[in-house]
């Protein structure tokens, strides 16, 4: 048999069924996953077979799962395929909300749970693949990831130190320690017989290459799910995102859909443009609209801007209605630039995007200071200017790209309701009326989890605003200052009396009685 025939036979052997692919995975293996919410690049056909194998045989068990972004539909797909007692020993995750079952197991100490910044995880996979000594970065300093606080440990079972503080040239950094990857399970659009994988029909690239590189160069194996097999002789080299040298097994999945909102939409994958008409952009309503409208005033023409999930995700829709699209450069952590950004379960995608790059490259852009202003959510806030979005009550949420973005941006605008659970407001006569107060305070004495560090922001010289439906605060050298209240809002009754800390207050906002009360409190 000729050498050419040998190569062809070896290439063809990469194509196997999902059940056969997961038979390779052994007890105690470390698996890197790539994907994002809404089914984005989710290799769920392979993951479903892996779950089935465990439920039928009890193997593989004691797995370590590593993932940067949230993976799943919230109903059991993606990361949820591993949410069975005994199946995992450790999870290192950037975002957990797309798998409520896994969140509950972490809460119950069923395995060792760690949460790290999504960008740090993605970039660490690249560093592992490159054989470098982990990831050394400023990202995470003075947050819950810092070993001086929690070191990324988010339950009692997590005891190993996987992050350490280091000093270089008189400056502090965190080192995210490397580890071996036994398997990468990723997804593409198509592959040829040599295993060259394209992402030609996918709405994002994410960190599929970094995950594959880490597994291959660790001596592990790479399993790729694709929709179709490219049977012609030539795949344009520019379309290949994972070269066949990294790929061990390819699983063809004919019913693979692009994402939860479309079996296939070429305007999401950047292959063509779609017409943009009236109602194309969904604008927020209610409290979300009030907060997003005020926050949007902080965006100026010519700026590079990032928008986070939740309330900030509605800002692009408002800007579209105001005719301001095209006056700034917008991006999200999944690697999408400009376009009609989607909200809700498909946050992280856009129709008619200007550019789609890997999330690893995107996080490099954020970490290095490429963003002028970012708009992000706000779970809890305290008097030191700290923000918590990563652990609410006993629920593990994870930071996603929140830490990577906030520690690189020049200006940060946090967006969140003043209270939670039951809050109702209405706009009337140009002002705001609080119909019903929320029963859960969000401006607290001390946040439960430090996802954003006010101290670190002061050290870095960042501008920071906190926007709620009734009040706006600013981070200053000596504390958090109340600088605005909505018309119709009573400063003392509706703001100060309902906070867990005493902020600095602009004199212009205080009535005579309130001023006297402040003087007495100071004494």
Residue with tokens 């470098």: 132
Q: Among 2-16, 287-301, 390-404, where is mean pLDDT lowest?
A: 2-16
Domain of residue 312, CATH code: 3.40.1080.10
Same structural domain, 247 and 302: no
Query: Count of alpha carbons within 13 Å of 510, Cβ hemisphere only?
Result: 16
Share of the chain above pLDDT 70, in %: 94
Same domain for 350 and 238? no
b/e per residue 462-486 (b: at least 16 CB within 10 A): bebbbbbbbbbbbbeeebbbbbbbb
Assess whether 339 and 190 both reside in one domain: no
- Told to judge if 23 belongs to the known catalytic residues of this protein, a careful annotator would answer no
Mean pLDDT of 491-514: 88
Tokens of 260: 């939860």
Residue 279 pLDDT > 80, yes or no?
Answer: no
Tokens 């995750």 belong to residue: 93
In a domain, 246, yes or no: yes
In a domain, 40, yes or no: yes
Residues 324 and 375 occupy one common structural domain? yes
Same domain, 328 and 447: yes
Mean pLDDT of 154-168: 98
Q: Does 347 score more than 60 pLDDT?
A: yes
pLDDT band at 2; cut points 50, 70, 90: very low
pLDDT, residue 345, reads 76
**The 135-137 sheet, strands edge to edge:** 135-137, 171-176, 163-168
Contacts for 97-103: CB closer than 8 Å, 24+ residues apart: 97/37, 97/70, 97/397, 97/398, 98/37, 98/70, 98/71, 98/72, 98/73, 98/74, 99/70, 99/71, 99/72, 99/74, 100/74, 101/76, 103/395, 103/396, 103/397
C-alpha 253/C-alpha 226 separation (Å) is 6
In whole angstroms, give the CA distance from residue 487 to residue 161: 50
Give the E-state strand segments of 263-371 in sequence order: 304-307, 329-332, 336-337, 340-341, 350-351, 355-356
Q: What is the DSSP code (8-state) at residue 77?
A: S
Q: What is the pLDDT of residues 298-346, one digit of tens each?
A: 999 999 999 998 899 889 889 988 889 899 999 999 999 999 888 777 8
pLDDT for residue 516 is more than 70: no
Same domain for 209 and 71:
yes
Residues 241 and 380 in one domain: no
The domain in which residue 319 lies consists of 286-522
Query: Is residue 475 scored above 50 in pLDDT?
Result: yes
Q: Which two tokens stand for residue 305?
A: 């801007």
Do 298 and 231 share a domain, yes or no?
A: no
Residue 90 lies in a domain: yes
Q: Indicate if the pLDDT at residue 1 is higher than 60.
A: no
Determine, yes or no, domain membership for 20.
Answer: yes
Which of 252, 272, 305 is the endpoint of a domain? 252
User: Can you give the pLDDT at residue 4?
Assistant: 39
Cα angle: 116, vertex 158, 389; to 5 degrees: 40
Does one domain contain both 329 and 202? no
The band of 161, judged by pLDDT with boundaries at 50, 70 and 90, is very high
CA distances from 331 to 266, 313, 348, 364 (A): 19, 11, 9, 13
Question: What span, in angstroms and rounded, lies between the C-alpha atoms of 439 and 419?
Answer: 7
Q: DSSP characters for 359-414?
A: HHHHHHHHHTT--SEEEEE-SEE-TT--EE-SEETTEE---TTHHHHHTT-SEEEE
Residue 280 domain-assigned (yes or no): no
Pair of tokens at residue 164: 């350490």
- How many Cα atoms within 13 Å fall on the side-chain side of residue 187? 29
Using the 3D structure, point to which of 252, 278, 310 is the last residue of a domain.
252
pLDDT digits (tens, 9 = 90+) for 105-114: 999 999 999 9
Catalytic residue from among 42, 127, 333, 469: 333
Q: How far apart are CA 102 and CA 505, in angstroms?
A: 42
**Judgement on whether residues 201 and 94 belong to the same structural domain of the protein:** yes
Q: Are residues 357 and 208 in the same domain?
A: no
Average pLDDT over residues 79-84: 97
d(Cα 296, Cα 168) in Å, to the nearest integer?
A: 38
79 backbone dihedrals φ, ψ, rounded to 5°:
-60, -30
In this predicted model, what pLDDT tens digit does every residue of 48-70 receive, in sequence order?
999 999 999 999 999 999 999 99
What are the pLDDT digits (tens) for 219-236? 999 999 999 998 776 788
- What's the full length of the chain, in residues? 523
- Average pLDDT value for the chain: 92
DSSP character at residue 258:
S
**pLDDT > 70? residue 87:** yes
Domain stops at, among 252, 268, 296: 252
What's the Rg (C-alpha) of the chain? 24
Band (pLDDT 50/70/90 cuts) for residue 518 is very low
Same domain, 391 and 485: yes
Q: Is residue 173, in this structure, part of any structural domain at all?
A: no
Stated pTM of the model: 0.93
**Biggest CA-to-CA distance, the chain:** 96
pLDDT tens, residue by residue, 178-207: 999 999 999 999 999 999 999 999 999 999
User: How much is the pLDDT for 514?
Assistant: 52
| Domain total in the chain | 2
Say what the pLDDT of residue 10 is: 52
pLDDT tens by residue, 403-455: 999 999 999 999 999 999 999 999 988 899 999 999 999 999 999 999 999 99
């Amino acid at each position: 048999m000729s050498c050419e025939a040998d190569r062809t036979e070896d290439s063809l052997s990469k194509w196997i069924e999902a059940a056969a692919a997961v038979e390779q995975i052994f007890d105690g293996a470390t698996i890197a996953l790539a994907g994002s919410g809404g089914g984005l690049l989710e290799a769920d056909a392979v993951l479903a077979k892996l779950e089935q194998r465990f439920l039928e045989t009890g193997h593989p068990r004691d797995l370590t799962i590593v993932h940067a972004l949230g993976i799943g539909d919230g109903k059991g797909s993606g990361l949820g395929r591993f949410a069975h007692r005994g199946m995992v020993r450790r999870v290192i995750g950037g975002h957990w909300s797309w798998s409520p079952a896994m969140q509950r197991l972490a809460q119950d100490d069923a395995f060792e749970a760690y949460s790290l910044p999504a960008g740090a995880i993605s970039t660490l996979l690249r560093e592992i693949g490159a054989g470098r000594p982990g990831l050394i970065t400023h990202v995470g300093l003075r947050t819950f990831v810092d070993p001086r606080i929690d070191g990324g440990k988010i339950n009692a079972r997590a005891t190993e130190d996987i992050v350490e503080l280091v000093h270089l040239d008189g400056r502090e950094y965190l080192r995210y320690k490397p580890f071996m990857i036994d398997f990468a399970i990723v997804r593409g659009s198509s592959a040829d017989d040599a295993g060259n994988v394209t992402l030609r029909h996918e709405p994002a690239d994410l960190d599929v290459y970094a995950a594959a590189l880490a597994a291959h160069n660790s001596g592990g194996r790479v399993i790729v799910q694709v929709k179709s097999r490219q049977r012609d002789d030539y795949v344009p080299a520019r379309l290949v995102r994972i070269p066949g040298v990294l790929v061990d097994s390819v699983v063809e999945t004919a019913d693979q859909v692009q994402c939860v909102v479309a079996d296939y939409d070429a305007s999401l994958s950047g292959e063509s443009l779609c017409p943009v008409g009236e109602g194309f952009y969904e604008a927020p309503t209610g409290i979300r609209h009030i907060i997003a409208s005020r926050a949007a005033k902080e965006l100026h023409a010519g700026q590079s801007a990032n928008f986070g999930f939740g309330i900030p995700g509605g800002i692009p829709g408002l800007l579209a209605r105001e005719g301001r699209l095209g006056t700034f450069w917008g991006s999200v952590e999944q690697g999408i630039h400009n376009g009609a950004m989607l909200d809700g379960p498909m946050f992280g995608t856009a129709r008619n995007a200007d550019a789609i790059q890997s999330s690893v490259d995107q996080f490099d852009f954020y970490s290095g200071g490429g963003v002028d202003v970012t708009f992000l959510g706000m779970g809890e806030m305290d008097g030191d200017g700290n923000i918590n979005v990563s652990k609410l009550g006993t629920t593990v949420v994870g930071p996603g790209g929140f830490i990577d973005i906030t520690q690189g941006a020049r200006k940060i605008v946090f967006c969140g309701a003043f209270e939670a659970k039951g809050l109702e407001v209405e706009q009337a006569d140009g002002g705001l009326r609080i119909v019903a107060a929320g029963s859960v305070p969000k401006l607290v004495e001390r946040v439960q989890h430090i996802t954003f560090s006010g101290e670190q922001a002061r050290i870095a010289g960042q501008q920071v605003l906190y926007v709620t439906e009734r009040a706006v605060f600013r981070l200053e050298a000596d504390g958090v200052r109340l600088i605005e209240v909505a018309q119709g809002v009573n400063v003392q009754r509706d703001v100060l009396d309902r906070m867990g800390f005493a902020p600095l207050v602009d004199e212009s906002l205080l009535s005579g009685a309130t001023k006297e009360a402040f003087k007495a409190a100071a004494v």
